[in-house]
């Protein structure tokens, strides 16, 4: 996009944000008196801080627009490099608005002020617009003259808009790869339908368990009724039995789907390899090809049978848990969801990094397998030169390269668990403290609080499982890209002709025939 269009759009929308926020703020306060609000500022009922956040957003966008307008060569590059910065700012402002809503509800039991809700909703709209405008400014392209010699061209700048690197160096998106992988499960649509049905049954049954556990506690502690307690315990028992039965059927069908998909992928890959020209096997080592056919196909099949299974199960369970949490207490639900955006941001960064590491690990393993295959296949030559130790050292060096990448994976996972675990701990402590306040003030029963805490633990487990599975998904996607690269490859020479002579006398004669292999183009095979 041209610089003047992006800058004009940013200034216009940023100005509209200031105007709309100011109007909502002044009408909600019944007049315009910033000095009075500043002198008598109270975080529980004052909206001056929300208006100040609007000014801060506008100043950040104004600075970005000025930077792009005055330096179209390097301004967009710097904005692309600082996308995480603007994402964190928008995230923190969104979390603060949730805190503001809770504080506002403490002094006003029923919030029916339309100006407050208008300001609340508009703030989230403007936060989304702020991130979008930052992206728009980051996509600004300049002419070759502005970029100067040796800089990236307009096409390269446009290509790097989505990923900060040229298109040929960008990682492929995981979505198309997963979609293509799922297309290979079409013959198993019937089994998948059964598996997903019992997945829903098991997840919904597990979702109701904390709710009836809270009813059982209320029946004893609050109502002191044995009938209510017995009914709740009976329902919990039936739900547990039904969920276990459904989970067993779900696991069995997904295991069957894994076996069928693994066989199907190996068959497709092997048939594709058999149709390739001879130069393909000169360009790709035998160990690399065997690694795709054995370990990578297993990882890809595991992506559907386990990772997607766990991912969908936890997402369905999380949706049901969120519904019950809001029905029990919307205030505590807001406290819970303050930490999850941070976990999602960390998971996104970790997932992208882990995907890259996964592809590097698979490539390093393929090289190690290739070394082992070449050495073992030529064992007579190795033994004749008494070179066993040297070949073992070469293989050890290849394994050390794999080990270095594995250590990087371990460190990345460690940092991810630290960050997500600490965030969940802060959320749990906040829920316990604020939930106790709601029970003491009569806004919530003790049974509902216990049910909510159980739901929070269940939701935390779901998010943790999704985060753990996310690394497996990225690993499977990295392996799937390599497998599909071989499956989709079209041979440069096709040997499936249908012409055949009526009679063959066994005499083969070459006349004016010459060719060379692609990897040795300077060497004529026939002359």
pLDDT given at position 32:
61
**Least trusted range by pLDDT, from 94-103, 183-192, 507-516:** 507-516
Q: What percent of the chain has pLDDT over 70?
A: 89
Would the pLDDT of 169 be above 60? no
Mean pLDDT of 365-382: 87
Mean pLDDT of 496-514: 76
Angle at which helix 83-107 crosses helix 330-337, to 10 degrees, equals: 160
pLDDT given at position 78:
86
Would the pLDDT of 267 be above 60? yes
pLDDT given at position 173:
59
Tokens in use for 289? 């090809």
If 0-12 CB within 10 Å is exposed, 13-18 middle and 19+ buried, where does residue 448 land?
buried
Cα–Cα dist 392/171, whole Å: 34
Would the pLDDT of 387 be above 70? yes
pLDDT given at position 174:
67
* Domains in the chain: boundaries: 3-169, 175-487
Q: Which of 482, 470, 484, 490 is nearest to 182 (CA)?
A: 484
Would the pLDDT of 110 be above 60? no
Q: Which of 488, 353, 504 is nearest to 415 (CA)?
A: 353
Q: Which of 103, 27, 94 is nearest to 57 (CA)?
A: 94
pLDDT given at position 145:
39
Would the pLDDT of 13 be above 70? yes
CATH 3.90.1260.10 fits 175-487, yes or no: no
In sequence order, the β-bridge partners of residue 526 are 515
pLDDT given at position 30:
60
Q: Which of 411, 460, 341 is nearest to 91 (CA)?
A: 341
The CA distances from residue 108 to 29, 101, 102, 223, 243, in Å, are: 15, 10, 10, 30, 42
Assess contact for 205 and 243: CB atoms under 8 A: yes
Q: What is the mean pLDDT of the chain?
A: 81
If 0-12 CB within 10 Å is exposed, 13-18 middle and 19+ buried, where does residue 227 land?
exposed
pLDDT given at position 144:
45
Q: Which of 171, 136, 202 is nearest to 4 (CA)?
A: 136
Q: What digits encode the pLDDT tens for the residues 67-91?
A: 888 888 888 888 888 888 888 888 8
Q: What digits encode the pLDDT tens for the residues 441-455?
A: 888 888 888 888 888
Would the pLDDT of 249 be above 90? yes
Tokens in use for 410? 């371990």
pLDDT given at position 270:
92
Q: What digits encode the pLDDT tens for the residues 280-299?
A: 887 888 888 888 888 888 88
DSSP per-residue codes, 332-394? HHHHHHTTHHHHHHHHHHHHHHHHHHHHHHHHHHHHHHHHHHHHHHTHHHHHHTT-HHHHHHH
By residue count, the chain amounts to: 527
If 0-12 CB within 10 Å is exposed, 13-18 middle and 19+ buried, where does residue 134 land?
buried
Local confidence band at 158 (pLDDT 50, 70, 90 cut-offs): very low
Please count the helices (runs of H) and the strands (runs of E) in the chain: 20, 0
pLDDT given at position 400:
92
pLDDT given at position 142:
62
Would the pLDDT of 31 be above 50? yes
Assess contact for 233 and 347: CB atoms under 8 A: no
If 0-12 CB within 10 Å is exposed, 13-18 middle and 19+ buried, where does residue 451 land?
buried
The CA distances from residue 250 to 114, 186, 372, in Å, are: 48, 18, 40
Mean pLDDT of 323-340: 86
Q: What percent of the chain has pLDDT over 90?
A: 9
pLDDT given at position 59:
92
Local confidence band at 29 (pLDDT 50, 70, 90 cut-offs): low
């Amino acid at each position: 996009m041209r610089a003047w269009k992006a800058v004009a759009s940013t200034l216009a929308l940023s100005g509209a944000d200031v105007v709309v926020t100011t109007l909502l703020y002044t009408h909600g306060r019944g007049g315009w008196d910033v000095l009075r609000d500043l002198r008598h500022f109270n975080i529980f009922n004052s909206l001056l801080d929300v208006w100040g956040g609007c000014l801060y957003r506008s100043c950040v966008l104004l600075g970005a627009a000025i930077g792009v307008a005055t330096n179209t060569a390097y301004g967009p590059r710097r904005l692309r490099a600082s996308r995480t910065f603007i994402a964190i700012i928008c995230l923190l402002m969104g979390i603060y608005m949730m805190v503001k809503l809770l504080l506002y509800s403490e002094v006003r039991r029923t919030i029916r002020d339309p100006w407050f809700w208008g300001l609340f909703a508009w703030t989230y709209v403007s936060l989304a617009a702020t991130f979008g405008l930052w992206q728009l400014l980051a996509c600004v392209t300049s002419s070759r003259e502005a970029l100067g010699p040796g800089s990236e061209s307009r096409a390269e700048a446009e290509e790097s808009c989505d990923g900060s690197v040229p298109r040929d160096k960008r990682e492929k998106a995981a979505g198309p790869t997963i979609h293509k992988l799922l297309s290979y499960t079409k013959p198993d649509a019937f089994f998948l339908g059964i598996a997903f049905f019992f997945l829903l049954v098991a997840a919904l049954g597990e979702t109701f368990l904390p709710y009836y556990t809270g009813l059982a506690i209320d029946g004893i502690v609050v109502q002191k009724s044995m009938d209510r307690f017995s009914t709740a315990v009976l329902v919990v028992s039936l739900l547990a039995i039904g969920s276990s039965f459904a989970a067993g059927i779900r696991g069995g069908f997904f295991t069957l789907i894994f076996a069928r998909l693994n066989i199907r992928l190996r068959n497709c890959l092997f048939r594709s390899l058999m149709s390739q020209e001879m130069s393909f096997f000169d360009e790709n080592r035998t160990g690399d090809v065997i690694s795709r056919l054995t370990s990578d196909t297993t990882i890809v099949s595991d992506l559907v049978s386990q990772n997607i299974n766990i991912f969908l199960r936890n997402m369905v369970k999380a949706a049901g848990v969120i519904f019950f949490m809001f029905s029990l207490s919307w205030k505590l639900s807001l406290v819970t969801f303050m930490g999850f955006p941070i976990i999602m941001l960390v998971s996104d960064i970790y997932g992208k990094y882990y995907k890259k590491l996964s592809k590097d690990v698979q490539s390093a393993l393929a090289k190690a397998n290739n070394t082992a295959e070449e050495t073992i296949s030529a064992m007579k030559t190795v033994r004749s030169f008494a070179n066993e130790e040297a070949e073992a050292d070469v293989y050890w060096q290849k394994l050390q390269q794999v080990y270095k990448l594995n250590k990087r994976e371990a460190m990345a996972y460690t940092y991810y668990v630290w960050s997500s675990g600490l965030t969940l701990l802060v959320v749990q402590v906040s829920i316990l403290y604020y939930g106790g306040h709601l029970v003491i003030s009569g806004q919530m029963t003790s049974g509902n609080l216990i049910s909510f805490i159980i739901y929070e633990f269940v939701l935390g487990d779901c998010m943790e499982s999704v985060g753990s599975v996310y690394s497996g998904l990225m690993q499977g996607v990295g392996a799937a890209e390599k497998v599909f690269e071989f499956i989709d490859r079209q041979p440069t020479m096709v040997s499936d002709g249908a012409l055949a002579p009526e009679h063959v006398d066994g005499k083969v004669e070459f006349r004016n025939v010459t060719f060379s292999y692609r990897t040795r183009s300077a060497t004529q095979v026939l002359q």
